[in-house]
Amino acid sequence: MRMSIAAAAAAFGLAFAGTASAQNVGIATSNPGSLFHNIGTAVANASNKAGLNATIQPATSPNQYIPFVASGGIEFGVANLQEVAYALEGKEWFEGNANPDLRIVASIMPLREAIFVRADSGIRTIADLKGKPMVDGYTAQNTILPQLDAMYATAGMTRDDIEPVNVPSVVAGADAFMAGESVGFIFAHGAGKVREADAAVGGLYAIPIEPTDENLKLARKFWPVAFFTEIEGGTTPGVPETASYFAYPQVVFTNANVPDDVVYEMAKAIYEGKETMASSFPPFNQFDPADMASDVGVNSYHPGALKFFEEAGLN
């Protein structure tokens, strides 16, 4: 659902007028507790250390703030690559509302995601969710439904196989789980809300996915950039043993009209800021600055980012 500029400005509480200043930039994120809020905060900290004076501006979800960034309402945002691609071309939930001015600043670490259940629930596979109450709907966060579809597909299921508990967003879904309304919730590994839920229910279990070629093919029918990644046991809530999970690329993005020098400085801040970002949000330990210029498919990098990549030898 595309926001009008006026509505988006109200959602953020601030409209940014004119072009960006190297001394004052905004980074759009989703709500506190979400992965993208954690990521945006970490990127802002690295940017501030580099002299950009970045401020995060939360909204409910990327499907709201991606068009706002594209329109020039705020300079930067953090989101997953697939959703930025859909917004660029006006596909899926952005249908009829292409955002051709979207540009990528940097590829960052992958988003690693799972369906979390109570550790004492006895649920150990996605197939075990069949017939049980499970979060669904996601009216304010359209990106989640195809990700659930992708995970269910690996177990030969669809969303029709669960009893839907409708929620607007992943944060609301975690709240519904903690309130006992749902047996599970979908969230990113490492997010603050997962740690909150882990403490609230006395322990979580993150349902793994067998990383077979067939499962990957099934998942990519719904989420084309999906891949599977292994997480070491004991390193994050819900993962008692090393196992594989659903994952996909994440990016920092901007719009074509942000000045090249501002985007250059943001790319440089990210490249040099791994230690600062990881101290703010430990999943940034997975970030490899050498991968910042990774293939972004139908998307394009901003010229300011390309200039930095060339100087850093990343092209």
Q: Which residues pair with 204 in a beta bridge?
A: 118
Q: What percent of the chain is modeled with pLDDT above 90?
A: 84
CA dihedral over 52, 58, 61, 66, signed as positive or negative: negative
Assess whether pLDDT exceeds 90 at residue 5: no
Query: Hey, is 121 helix, strand or coil?
Result: coil
60/156: higher pLDDT:
156
- Domain identity same for 127 and 238: yes
> pLDDT band at 23, cuts 50/70/90?
low
Complete edge-to-edge strand list for the sheet that includes strand 76-80: 54-58, 25-29, 76-80, 250-255, 102-107
**Residue 8 pLDDT:** 40
pLDDT number for residue 167? 97
* Domain match, 231 and 169 both: yes
> Measuring CA to CA, which residue among 233, 235, 229, 236 is closest to residue 250?
229
Q: Look at the chain and report how many structural domains it folds into.
A: 2
Contact at 8 Å (CB) between 113 and 80?
Answer: no
Instruction: Give me the pLDDT at residue 63, please.
Output: 86
Same domain, yes or no: 76 and 173 = no
Mean pLDDT, residues 294-305: 96
Tokens found for residue 185 = 């919730």
pLDDT for the residue numbered 16: 36
The angle, 0 to 180 degrees and rounded to 10, between the axes of the packed helices 192-201 and 170-178 is 10
What letter would DSSP give residue 59?
Answer: -
Q: Which residue has the higher pLDDT, 20 or 291?
A: 291
Pick from 30, 35, 28, 31: nearest CA to 195:
35
232 and 163 in a single domain? The answer is yes
What is the rounded CA–CA span in Å between residue 93 and residue 91?
6
* Residues forming beta bridges with residue 107, ordered by sequence position: 251
DSSP class of residue 21?
B
**Structural domain range at position 121:** 111-248
pLDDT of residue 142: 86
Radius of gyration of the chain (CA): 19
User: Could you tell me if 62 and 116 lie in one domain?
Assistant: no
Question: What is residue 192's predicted lDDT score, i.e. its pLDDT?
Answer: 86
Residues 285 and 187 grouped into a single domain: no
Statement to judge: residues 23 and 43 lie in one domain: yes
Query: Which residue, 195, 221, 248, sits at the end of a domain?
Result: 248
| 108/130 Cα distance (integer angstroms) | 34
Q: What is the mean pLDDT of residues 274-291?
A: 94
pLDDT at 190: 85
Measured distance CA(266)–CA(302) in Å, rounded: 11
Are 119 and 243 in the same domain? yes
Which of 226, 248, 270 is the last residue before a domain boundary?
248
Average pLDDT over residues 259-274: 97
Task: Judge if 61 and 169 occupy the same domain.
Answer: no
- What percent of the chain stands above pLDDT 70? 93
Residue 78 maps to which CATH number?
3.40.190.10
Whole-number pLDDT of residue 6: 38
For the entire predicted model, the pTM comes to 0.80
Looking at the fold, whether 98 and 203 belong to one and the same domain comes out as no
Q: Which of 215, 233, 248 is the last residue of a domain?
A: 248
- Tell which wins on pLDDT, 2 or 299: 299
Q: Render pLDDT for 219-248 as a digit per residue (tens, 0 to 9).
A: 999 999 999 999 999 999 999 999 999 999
Per-residue pLDDT of 86-143, as tens digits, reads 999 999 999 989 999 999 999 999 999 999 999 999 999 999 999 999 999 999 888 8
Residues 75 and 13 grouped into a single domain: yes
Same domain, 129 and 206: yes
Residue 14 pLDDT greater than 70, yes or no: no
Q: Estimate the crossing angle of helix 35-49 against helix 260-272, to 10 degrees.
A: 100
- pLDDT digits 0-9 by tens, 47-89: 999 999 999 999 988 888 999 999 999 999 999 999 999 999 9
